[in-house]
Chains A and B, each alone.
Chain A
Amino acid sequence: MNRLCKSLVLITALALLMTGAVIAQDDIVIDFYFPSATANDAEGIFQRYADTFEERNEGISINPVFTGSYTDTRNTILTELQGGGAGPDVAVMLSIDLYSFAEEGYIVPAQGFIDAMDDGGAYINDFFPSLMANGVDDMGNVWSIPFQRSTPILYYNADLLAEAGYDSPPTNNAELVEIAQALTTDDRDGLLVPVAGGFPIWMYQSFAIAYGRNIVSDDPTEVYFNTPEAVAAVEFVRSLGTDLGVGPAGGAAWGDTPVAFLAGQAAMIYHTTGNLSRILDGADFEVGVWYLPSGPAGDDGAGYGSPTGGGNLYIFDDGSKSDAELDAIWKWVMFLSSPEIQADWGATTGYIAANATAWETEPLASRAMEYPQYGVARDQLQHADKEFSSYATITIQGIINKTLESILTGESEDAQAAMDEAQAQIDGILAEYK
């Protein structure tokens, strides 16, 4: 017992000694929380960025903290802030997290910082407009700055298409179905659209846009989930696995889709640009990349469209931070969103560099030169639209995902009825925000 007590005391003392890093007292410390959603050593990369930044900015030190997935990151920050903790100064969170955090008063708009800049207009106009859509509120204020962004694109196995006599990828839904059917065999799917597994909304949105109407607008109190376009879009996705028979019923699983594509088990897939590096490096065939085929909204390109996705930089302040601190915070945000870092981050991870100048900056410039596929992903951005986001985003997203899943799996046969019901539920939730 005595020895036990002694070792306990010893361990306790040791543990207390080992905690906390020592930081020079005069430095402004910026706590930077980041999720990781790729298989890169994000921690190592951010440490490198932090070192570069600290070298150039005397008196500011960056404390990068890994906070898990996007969901873990949101939960970590919410727990910390609700539990009376200090929280981060800057964090990368999903671009659609805006309203959940703005409502609580945890974050401040970037607009004030931009207005105070000499050339704020030039800075913000360098970002691709579609990547700004989710970071701006209905009053036109910029809240968050694009950082690690992505969008769905069409990947195709060019060798297989050529074998079947197709020299170019499908540009509209009719061609998509035709080629997919021609390439479907007993042990190969013609087209995989990853809508199975609980989160179909993102991929589904690209079809809704191709059918002519996104399910969200600039107004965070409006959702359009039961329009004729929205219904036709989900019926088309469902038919891929049933009547058209080019993929599994109910859709493919998110994680398995690129694996199947690389293994030659799928001729074409819808997937995120975040995957571009992995697929280009891993394929033993010629990988083609093209815009998501256009839908009934217009074969001439008007029906192109995909939602954007990924993470933005958010600034946290409850009003207690000093001007010097806020100044340092903005410097770090500017640094991470600069063409220099965006070019490096994009080339390393595969995310789409968010500003135009980054594409003329090394190492991305030569990477894009070597693989023209990167340019396609970037150019599709001109047709891209807002990712789903509204007030009560998480709750409403959950309703939409559940409804889509039940339609896709065939549980709800009548898509219109199921979506009417969901819309009524959503309107009920949004009514209190109007």
Chain B
Amino acid sequence: MNGSNGSERILRRFAASVKTVIAIFFLIPLVFTILVSVRPEAEPVTRGNIFFGSEVTWENYDRALIIAPWSMHYVNSVIFVAGVLLAQLVTVTCAAYAFARMRFFGRNLLLLIILLQLMIPSGVLLVQNFRMINTLGLFDTRIALMIPYWGSAFGVLLLRQTFREVPIELEEAARIDGANLVQVIRHVYVTNAIPAYLAFALVSVSSHWNEFLWPFIITRSAEIRPLTVGLNKLIKTTDQGAFYGQLMAGTLIVIAPLVLLFLLFQRQFVESFARSGIR
């Protein structure tokens, strides 16, 4: 064993321990949420054992479950994020191909405008978006929930970069073999950009799953409102002070599917993020 091997090992160990510490830091909120959710409401964490109360209780879940029709909200959230994602996949693919491979007047200016959209906070557009939806007669419908998200500047930029890395020779070969535009996009570009799509899907799903303001403003019927609106009922207890146990139970109910999804597909997600260059 020589010296450089030894120092390399030390370095690797050091990196591993740093990673462990960071992982623990990231885990703390989740662990804390779980612990508080099974702690009796009358026992704040500042008193007694910081990890567990006098008993493990499900009463916070029982109360949280009563306050909102969660199963209905789940269905609504799934329809909402799926409806957004499916439309986005179509729009960003088309736009990304156009910006990556087509030449047309004003291409860079258009791209710049799309880039600008990333910098506008959506809250600013609330009233205007509402006005448009209302004029279209779509107020309080599922479609109104989704429409503003059907385009995605982030998705266009991400896929444009990925498409540009696909060798142009592949497209030329496909053309010679008689593929039309749709077939080229489908077989040459989409197939080669699966990791990017997966990364984009993850970002899209998790961000819309957590979206509150727009769904809240544009819907009135409980039958189409997503999970975040249900969670809102547990948060806003200002006339009574905080109910931390109940709040944490509700939070876990809302995030559970995303956490499970991530745990199941962890390896794939991490790889696709690494390959698509998002960190």
Contact string against A for B residues 211-249, beta-carbon threshold 8 Å, 1 for contact and 0 otherwise: 000001100111110000100111111111111101000
Interface residues of A in 21-50 (CB under 8 A from B): 21, 31, 35-43
Cβ-defined contact, A38 with B233, below 8 A: no
- Check if A4 is an interface residue, CB within 8 A of chain B: yes
Residue in contact with A15 in the complex, picked from B68, B79, B89, CB distance below 8 Å: B79
Residue in contact with A255 in the complex, picked from B79, B126, B229, B242, CB distance below 8 Å: B242
* Closest Cβ neighbor of B80 among chain A residues: A15
* Closest Cβ neighbor of A187 among chain B residues: B47
Q: A7-B86, A15-B141 are in contact. Are A41 and B232 (CB under 8 A)?
A: no
Residue in contact with A66 in the complex, picked from B134, B222, B240, CB distance below 8 Å: B222
Pick the interface stretch among A82-90, A120-128, A357-365: A82-90
Residues of B within 8 A of A35 (CB): 236
Contact string against B for A residues 47-91, beta-carbon threshold 8 Å, 1 for contact and 0 otherwise: 000000000000000010110111010011001101111000000
Interface residues of B in 188-214 (CB under 8 A from A): none
Cβ-defined contact, B239 with A259, below 8 A: no
Cβ-defined contact, B42 with A39, below 8 A: no
Q: Smallest CB–CB gap between A157 and chain B, Å?
A: 14
- Check if B28 is an interface residue, CB within 8 A of chain A: no
* Closest Cβ neighbor of A351 among chain B residues: B239
Cβ-defined contact, B86 with A39, below 8 A: no
Contact string against A for B residues 87-115, beta-carbon threshold 8 Å, 1 for contact and 0 otherwise: 10110000000000000000000000000
Cβ-defined contact, A259 with B217, below 8 A: no
Cβ-defined contact, A15 with B142, below 8 A: yes
Residues of B within 8 A of A83 (CB): 127-131, 134
Residues of B within 8 A of A258 (CB): 240-241
- Check if A213 is an interface residue, CB within 8 A of chain B: no
Residues of B within 8 A of A16 (CB): 141-143
Q: A1-B182, A4-B90 are in contact. Are A68 and B232 (CB under 8 A)?
A: yes
Q: How far is the CA of A16 from the CA of B137 in the complex (A)?
A: 12
Cβ-defined contact, B224 with A19, below 8 A: yes
Q: How far is the CA of A282 from the CA of B243 in the complex (A)?
A: 12
Q: Smallest CB–CB gap between A137 and chain B, Å?
A: 25
Q: How far is the CA of A85 from the CA of B242 in the complex (A)?
A: 34
Cβ-defined contact, B239 with A41, below 8 A: no
Cβ-defined contact, B241 with A263, below 8 A: no
* Closest Cβ neighbor of B66 among chain A residues: A41
Cβ-defined contact, B127 with A263, below 8 A: no
Residues of A within 8 A of B87 (CB): 8
Residues of A within 8 A of B142 (CB): 15-16, 18-19
Interface residues of B in 135-178 (CB under 8 A from A): 135, 139-143, 146
- Check if B179 is an interface residue, CB within 8 A of chain A: no
Residue in contact with A39 in the complex, picked from B90, B134, B143, B234, CB distance below 8 Å: B234
Q: Smallest CB–CB gap between A212 and chain B, Å?
A: 28
Cβ-defined contact, A76 with B66, below 8 A: no
Q: Smallest CB–CB gap between B134 and chain A, Å?
A: 5
What count of chain A residues pass the 8 Å CB interface test?
Answer: 61
Residues of B within 8 A of A383 (CB): none
Cβ-defined contact, A79 with B236, below 8 A: no
Residues of A within 8 A of B139 (CB): 85
Q: A39-B237, A42-B233 are in contact. Are A68 and B242 (CB under 8 A)?
A: no
- Check if A12 is an interface residue, CB within 8 A of chain B: yes
* Closest Cβ neighbor of A21 among chain B residues: B221
* Closest Cβ neighbor of B43 among chain A residues: A263
- Check if A350 is an interface residue, CB within 8 A of chain B: yes
Cβ-defined contact, A265 with B47, below 8 A: yes
Residues of B within 8 A of A65 (CB): 220-221
Q: How far is the CA of A264 from the CA of B223 in the complex (A)?
A: 42
Cβ-defined contact, B240 with A350, below 8 A: yes
Q: How far is the CA of A351 from the CA of B129 in the complex (A)?
A: 37
Cβ-defined contact, A84 with B239, below 8 A: no
Q: Smallest CB–CB gap between A9 and chain B, Å?
A: 11
- Check if B82 is an interface residue, CB within 8 A of chain A: yes
* Closest Cβ neighbor of B242 among chain A residues: A255
Cβ-defined contact, A259 with B221, below 8 A: no
Contact string against B for A residues 243-263, beta-carbon threshold 8 Å, 1 for contact and 0 otherwise: 000000000001111111011
Q: Smallest CB–CB gap between A43 and chain B, Å?
A: 7
Q: How far is the CA of A368 from the CA of B139 in the complex (A)?
A: 44
Cβ-defined contact, A257 with B83, below 8 A: no
Q: Smallest CB–CB gap between B201 and chain A, Å?
A: 14
Cβ-defined contact, A11 with B47, below 8 A: no
Interface residues of A in 330-384 (CB under 8 A from B): 350-351
Q: How far is the CA of A257 from the CA of B44 in the complex (A)?
A: 11
Q: List 18 A-B contacts (CB under 8 A).
A: A7-B86, A16-B141, A20-B140, A39-B67, A43-B233, A69-B232, A69-B238, A70-B238, A79-B126, A80-B130, A83-B128, A83-B130, A259-B241, A259-B242, A263-B42, A265-B47, A271-B241, A272-B240
Interface positions of B (Cβ within 8 A of A): 41-44, 46-47, 63, 66-68, 79, 82-83, 86-87, 89-90, 126-131, 134-135, 139-143, 146, 182, 186, 216-217, 220-224, 229, 232-244, 246
Closest 4 CB pairs of A and B: A255-B242, A83-B130, A274-B239, A258-B241
